[in-house]
Copies of this chain bind each other. A is one copy, B any other.
Amino acid sequence: MKERKPLRSEMGWSTTETITVRGYDLPSQLLGKIDLGGMAWLEITGRMPNPQEAEVFNALLVTLVEHGMTPQAIASRLISICAPEAMQASVAAGLCGVGSVFAGGSEQIARVLQDALKDKDASADLDAMAVAIVEDHAKRKAPIPGIGHPLHKPIDPRTPVLFGIAEKNGFRGRYVALLETISKTAEKKLNRTLPINATGAIGAILSELGFPWRICRGVAIIGRAVGLVGHIAEEMRNPIAYEIYERAEKEVAENGLAK
């Protein structure tokens, strides 16, 4: 008979008098001593961030919070008018869209960078890596994640700021350098403007911070959860979802009946 695997977790537990979270006493060691961004770091990595890590990580998270009237934000607002009694379901609905197209890019570029630099020492030839990466994507007709932006040209205004914050705190290393090399190599090969976008910057800096690529989407999810709550709060004060629905419904019905 198969033996039971014991259930273990380091996330947290309580006794009558104590509440332990990630090895810390929540009331005396965390409350008032760590901000939400630092707490997110602690939850994901299992250790407290130092001030440099906290500053960089918070900047990445803040970048991810608000992108205006995205499909996810509209979806959350639409669901909030259907089930106003269940705000969590509205946020969950929008979060369901933090997928490959609109928000999964950090994960993808982090994977490319981490795969390329795995087990490589400081003497690794970034130019050769970048050429290989660009050619591999070109051969597969796959877009290179993390570079290019439909609107922000010739640069994404978030990228230099994020790289500056990373540099100031000692986290502008070879992942960032490789992504810069990829961007330049791709621009030359494809003869297009392909600046590093915010998604790319985030993926590269998360790699500098030591986050495995598989968890990068989680960072985007945290940021978006904050933003979606913001949208639902605004929808409560100034509703627009019903108007968006009604216009679409009316146009579809008119076009359908006109046939």
Q: Tell me the A residues contacting B by CB distance below 8 Å.
A: 4-22, 26-28, 30-32, 34-40, 43-44, 54-55, 58-59, 61-63, 65-75, 78-79, 81-104, 151-153, 157-158, 160-162, 164-165, 214-215, 217-219, 221-223, 225-227, 229-234, 236, 238, 240-245, 247-249, 251-253, 255-257
Output the least CB separation between A159 and chain B (Å).
9
Q: Out of B35, B83, B214, name the residue touching A62 (CB < 8 Å).
A: B35
Q: SS class of chain A's interface: helix, strand, loop or mixed?
A: helix
Output the least CB separation between A43 and chain B (Å).
3
Output the least CB separation between A73 and chain B (Å).
7
Report the bound CA distance from A12 to B62 in whole Å: 13
Report the bound CA distance from A34 to B51 in whole Å: 14
Output the least CB separation between A74 and chain B (Å).
6
> Which of A7, A19, A35, A94: most chain B CB closer than 10 A?
A7
Q: For A58, what are the chain B residues with a Cβ–Cβ distance below 8 Å?
A: 34-36
Asked whether, in the complex, the Cβ of A98 is within 8 Å of the Cβ of B69, the reply is no
* Cβ-closest chain B residue relative to A9: B252
Q: For A91, what are the chain B residues with a Cβ–Cβ distance below 8 Å?
A: 95, 218, 221, 225
Q: For A19, what are the chain B residues with a Cβ–Cβ distance below 8 Å?
A: 152, 157-158
Q: For A38, what are the chain B residues with a Cβ–Cβ distance below 8 Å?
A: 35
Asked whether, in the complex, the Cβ of A97 is within 8 Å of the Cβ of B78, the reply is yes
Q: For A92, what are the chain B residues with a Cβ–Cβ distance below 8 Å?
A: 89, 92-93, 95-96
Asked whether, in the complex, the Cβ of B99 is within 8 Å of the Cβ of A11, the reply is no
* Cβ-closest chain B residue relative to A38: B35
Asked whether, in the complex, the Cβ of B161 is within 8 Å of the Cβ of A31, the reply is yes
Report the bound CA distance from A137 to B68 in whole Å: 41
Q: Out of B43, B78, B89, B236, name the residue touching A74 (CB < 8 Å).
A: B78
Asked whether, in the complex, the Cβ of A252 is within 8 Å of the Cβ of B222, the reply is no
Asked whether, in the complex, the Cβ of B62 is within 8 Å of the Cβ of A71, the reply is no
Instruction: Give 23 CB contacts A-B under 8 Å.
Output: A4-B247, A8-B238, A11-B73, A13-B68, A17-B157, A22-B230, A26-B66, A26-B158, A34-B62, A35-B38, A36-B40, A36-B65, A39-B61, A40-B230, A43-B230, A70-B245, A74-B74, A82-B103, A85-B100, A86-B96, A86-B99, A87-B217, A88-B95
